[in-house]
Structure 1
Amino acid sequence: MNYYTRMKGISVIMAGLLLLSAGSMVHASEGMEAGTSRPNILLINIDDLGWKDLGYMGSSYYETPNVDRLAARGMVFSQAYASAANCAPSRAALFSGMWTPRTGIYTVANSDRGKSIHRKLIPTPNTEYLADSVLTIAELLQQGGYRTAHAGKWHLGEDPADQGFEVNIAGLEAGNPSAGELGGYFAPYNNPYLEEGPEGEYLTDRITSEAISFLESTRGQPFFLNYAPYIVHTPIQPKEKLKLKYEQKLKGRSANNPDPGYAAMVETMDANVGRLVDYLMQAGRFENTLIIFTSDNGGLYRVSRQEPLRAGKGAYYEGGIRVPLIICWPGRVAAGSVTGEPVTNLDFYPTILAASGLEKPAGKVLDGTSLLPLFRGERLNERYLYWHFPIYLQAYKPGANPDLPDPYFRTRPGSVIRKGPWKLHEYFEDGRIELYNLETDIGERKDLKELYPERAGALYRQLKQWRRQTGAPVPTERNPRYRKKEE
């Protein structure tokens, strides 16, 4: 399916959703929240949610009525990207507003992932946490008079309170709710930043309740809530009743089916997004809230495949970096609108700044661009998008993903550049170049570098120039332990 067919399909789905949401919109608040002139900001960043794993994207398996209604009330971005293919670097880019070479965060934990005998190069060392010297969007909003709260996964340091959040609900350095001594999605959680709940309570439900309590405390004041409730990241620990429901839905379906436990977690995510939006509407605050709904990277291949997109989380093919994105801002963003403009989560920082009326501090580097022109029906200036990953990220299981170039790694060291429909990959181990036209080949199956050598050359030169400008490191040292074949 090409890009234009996909866009047409989304438009048809959106038309239906507008009809479904019309009734509930009647009850939306009228006018701006009393005592508040600047918009509230609600950033919903779901963990590992695939581009296709939502009803408004055409899924007949996943049930997401609340997110679908949000899509009908706002703008859907069909070509939205995470700035990295896994959690920490994507979140670091979002909160810093800067490309990964500027933060040094390229992956989770160490950069020499996978067996040493399979790695030709010594990768660039990884920085695990966001430096305190980085001015985050939360810090700017807090300095500008916003009440700020983080709810859920942080993964960029020990405590988000150190980087602009007045309230921290369950956020710490862990990347999933079962890491280390943490208890998982069901209480007891053993999370030092969350008061223990009754046994069997579900983490996402609890985080949402705490987030709503924070919102209640901010009446009459603008707020910024970063809602990142761990879900749908592994471990797959769904509510059993919902899992049984999706097991029943699988009957009679074709091969390569999604994981019913994951599907159940998607529904739980959706229900909690609905709780937040319902609160805002009932409290008369929905009309004055800018809502951004997205995912931090592509879907996890082993639980939900993203065909026609290639590969999944951890890879720099479309399945690893293309993500769902909805922006809803009543009165400023046209309900039911759809755009195919390529954007990334680097754009959130300048967009939020512009929406809130705050100025960018002198010397603060921002690598994204404000999306406000899109809300006015204008186009963004055509630009280059970049990804840089001088690291290794091993496959979950050797050979389990046939979409990857080799059985051992989701990512080998390299860089990617996109402009318009053209996307070029470069891999540092052997200098391999791949060129794709996403307009005609969204699945990145047909390498066009031999047919369009001038196009490939121009993109490659631009990519090298960008690396020089940003100081992006390129590993060149050979790994002495590398062997072509295992003995």
Structure 2
Amino acid sequence: MKDYFIKKAWLLLIVSALVSCTTLGQKSTPPNIVVILADDLGWKDVGYNGAEFYETPNIDALANSGMVFTNAYAAGPNCAPARASLLSGLYTPKHKLYTPGGKSKGKLQYMKLKVPTKGAPETFQTFVSNNDAINPNIICIPEVLKEAGYISARFGKWHIGPDTQGFDISSSNGTDLGLEKKHYGDIDIAEQLTDAAISFIETTKDKPFFLYLSHWDVHTPLRARPEVIAKYDQKQQTTATVWNTTYAAMIEAVDTSVGRVVKKLEELQLSENTLVVFLSDNGGHTHITKNHPLKAGKGSLHEGGIRVPTVFSWPGTIPQKSVNHSPISSVDFLPTFSDLAQLKLPKTQDFDGASLAPMLLGKEKTRNQDIFWHYPLYLKGFKGNRTLAVSGTETPYWRATPASAIRSGPWKLIQYFEDGSVQLFNLDTDISEQHDVSRTEKEVVANLLRKLKAWQNKTGAPIPKSLNPQFAPN
């Protein structure tokens, strides 16, 4: 414990030095920006989206204080690509980080196409798929905001490489600077990260700051404080539906963190000049939580894998209890923050997102922006999440196979590269993606395929075509 406080004191000294050396180049002070990111939290796991067992009073209060986006999406179906896209404003084909580890996972003989695969020969490296890192030359949020005098800090999970991408302070646990370690399953990590976040806010309160609080919870392994688990064990006795009480306790740890950050902003009278954003990096695990009514979960291009709880709160600027149904993506965050800081986007990077500021500030009620995904790899399924069959069989095995997807208005089209087939869903009437209407809505399919292929060409998205000589589905 003594070592923890010594490291925290050093961190405060560094932040203080940064504050004293930073000057603001703008006439008006731009808003502080706080992004709180949960890991693997499902869309239905928060109270304001109808959680039946989990308790998220602080996240719900944040939702009531600002704008909830009901159709918000992660730009990738799992950790690494979603985080890379959030920070860079780029879709996956541009930063080339498609999955943790950069390789397909599953039985090689079940893969029809030759793609980068864990344990496969080098000949399967048919396109570039980065291993948990993006090119350091890619411009990310803190590098853009630095032009407006922002001091930036990242506390928590990183997952996009050794370069800190412009953050002034970067720590995986809130105390150790520059030393990247994994803290999955640490029952105290949420509190420790929040302590660091609050200290950063206190020290930088007189300068514009960008805080990226990236929680390790609620990622597996599932571990939480015993007394909180006991609370949910007792609650479990009052309901017939079986819930994971440890997972519920981990959600409470994240929710408590949100409450502490918001309270500190209020205490320091910073709330009215601070935008707080809460979201998850991807959908929840189906063997741990219940994503219904969404189909599938983490790793899938179905709604359960990519639709995430998302809240923007800025008291006095964003109207309370606002609900926005426009589809948005995490690639929109960088352009939004740049816009709110009254900055122009660097012309040296072709950003994919678009600013949400007009909707947040009440200048527009909705927008019509297509959203895209690209996942050119395989990912095996498990425990009820095997939503896709091995090609040419009826054997369910995969969570994901090489595919692209587009959301355009109410329509969502998924294009599968193994056989060229497509699925089309009207999410306004079929959020559970139970009714593929591609055969009856041929004009819509043609239009969306045209848009999707144009996007693939523009971004250089790799389309796997080489057949796997080891493919043996039977």
Give the TM-score normalised by structure 1. 0.84
The runs of 5 or more residues in structure 1 that have no matched partner are: 1-34, 179-183, 187-201
Are 1:164 and 2:166 an aligned pair? yes
Report the equivalent of 1:477.
466
- Residue 385 (structure 2) aligned to one of 388, 393, 401: 401
Report the equivalent of 2:98.
106
Identity %: 42
Report the equivalent of 1:440.
429
Residue 215 of structure 1 and its aligned partner are, at CA, apart by 1.3
Are 1:62 and 2:63 an aligned pair? no
Deviations 1:122-160 (A, max 9, x none): 124411201111011111112431111001001111352
Local SS of the residue matching 1:338: strand
Matches within 5 A, 1:71-470: 71-123=63-115, 124-128=127-131, 129-158=133-162, 160=164, 163-170=165-172, 176-178=182-184, 184-186=185-187, 202-251=188-237, 253-255=239-241, 257-375=242-360, 376-395=362-381, 397=382, 400-401=384-385, 403-405=387-389, 407-470=396-459
Residue 64 of structure 1 and its aligned partner are, at CA, apart by 0.8
Kept in 1, the 8 Å contact 2:37–2:281? The answer is yes
Kept in 2, the 8 Å contact 1:401–1:407? The answer is no
Residue identity matched to 2:471: Y
Residue 37 of structure 1 and its aligned partner are, at CA, apart by 1.8
Local SS of the residue matching 1:38: coil
Specify whether residues 403 and 112 from structure 1 end up closer, same or farther in structure 2 by C-alpha distance, changes over 3 A only. closer
Local SS of the residue matching 2:396: coil
Residue 377 of structure 1 and its aligned partner are, at CA, apart by 4.9
Residue identity matched to 1:479: N
Cα distance in structure 2, aligned partners of 1:236 and 1:383:
37
Kept in 2, the 8 Å contact 1:112–1:392? The answer is yes
Residue 209 of structure 1 and its aligned partner are, at CA, apart by 0.5
Cα distance in structure 2, aligned partners of 1:404 and 1:290:
40
Local SS of the residue matching 1:323: coil
Residue identity matched to 1:79: N
Residue 103 of structure 1 and its aligned partner are, at CA, apart by 0.6
Local SS of the residue matching 2:333: helix
Deviations 1:278-297 (A, max 9, x none): 11100111111011111110
Specify whether residues 443 and 404 from structure 1 end up closer, same or farther in structure 2 by C-alpha distance, changes over 3 A only. farther
Residue 402 of structure 1 and its aligned partner are, at CA, apart by 5.6
Deviations 1:170-210 (A, max 9, x none): 267979524xxxxx404xxxxxxxxxxxxxxx111111111
Specify whether residues 174 and 107 from structure 1 end up closer, same or farther in structure 2 by C-alpha distance, changes over 3 A only. farther
Cα distance in structure 2, aligned partners of 1:185 and 1:472:
37
Residue 372 of structure 1 and its aligned partner are, at CA, apart by 1.3
Question: Higher mean Cα deviation, 274-283 or 141-150?
Answer: 141-150
Local SS of the residue matching 1:408: strand
Deviations 1:34-72 (A, max 9, x none): x97210000111111111111111223111111111111
Specify whether residues 429 and 52 from structure 1 end up closer, same or farther in structure 2 by C-alpha distance, changes over 3 A only. same
Cα distance in structure 2, aligned partners of 1:258 and 1:345:
29
Count residues with an aligned counterpart: 426
Cα distance in structure 2, aligned partners of 1:125 and 1:249:
48
Kept in 1, the 8 Å contact 2:326–2:367? The answer is no
Cα distance in structure 2, aligned partners of 1:390 and 1:173:
31
- Residue 38 (structure 2) aligned to one of 18, 28, 46: 46
Residue 432 of structure 1 and its aligned partner are, at CA, apart by 1.7
Kept in 2, the 8 Å contact 1:36–1:221? The answer is no
Residue identity matched to 2:70: S
Cα distance in structure 2, aligned partners of 1:40 and 1:439:
35
Cα distance in structure 2, aligned partners of 1:126 and 1:164:
23
Kept in 2, the 8 Å contact 1:311–1:404? The answer is no
Kept in 2, the 8 Å contact 1:387–1:417? The answer is yes
Residue 219 of structure 1 and its aligned partner are, at CA, apart by 2.5
Specify whether residues 266 and 447 from structure 1 end up closer, same or farther in structure 2 by C-alpha distance, changes over 3 A only. same
Specify whether residues 447 and 342 from structure 1 end up closer, same or farther in structure 2 by C-alpha distance, changes over 3 A only. same
Local SS of the residue matching 2:192: helix
Local SS of the residue matching 1:281: helix
Local SS of the residue matching 2:251: helix
Local SS of the residue matching 2:264: helix
Question: Higher mean Cα deviation, 85-94 or 360-369?
Answer: 360-369
Local SS of the residue matching 1:267: helix
CA root-mean-square deviation: 1.8
Local SS of the residue matching 2:272: helix
Question: Higher mean Cα deviation, 448-457 or 317-326?
Answer: 448-457
Specify whether residues 154 and 402 from structure 1 end up closer, same or farther in structure 2 by C-alpha distance, changes over 3 A only. closer
Kept in 1, the 8 Å contact 2:65–2:321? The answer is yes
Cα distance in structure 2, aligned partners of 1:349 and 1:283:
26
Kept in 2, the 8 Å contact 1:43–1:291? The answer is yes
Residue 241 of structure 1 and its aligned partner are, at CA, apart by 1.3
Specify whether residues 439 and 226 from structure 1 end up closer, same or farther in structure 2 by C-alpha distance, changes over 3 A only. same
Kept in 2, the 8 Å contact 1:118–1:483? The answer is yes
Local SS of the residue matching 1:43: strand
Kept in 2, the 8 Å contact 1:45–1:293? The answer is yes
Residue identity matched to 2:384: A
Residue identity matched to 1:39: P
Residue 440 of structure 1 and its aligned partner are, at CA, apart by 0.8
Cα distance in structure 2, aligned partners of 1:258 and 1:461:
43
Cα distance in structure 1, aligned partners of 2:181 and 2:57:
27
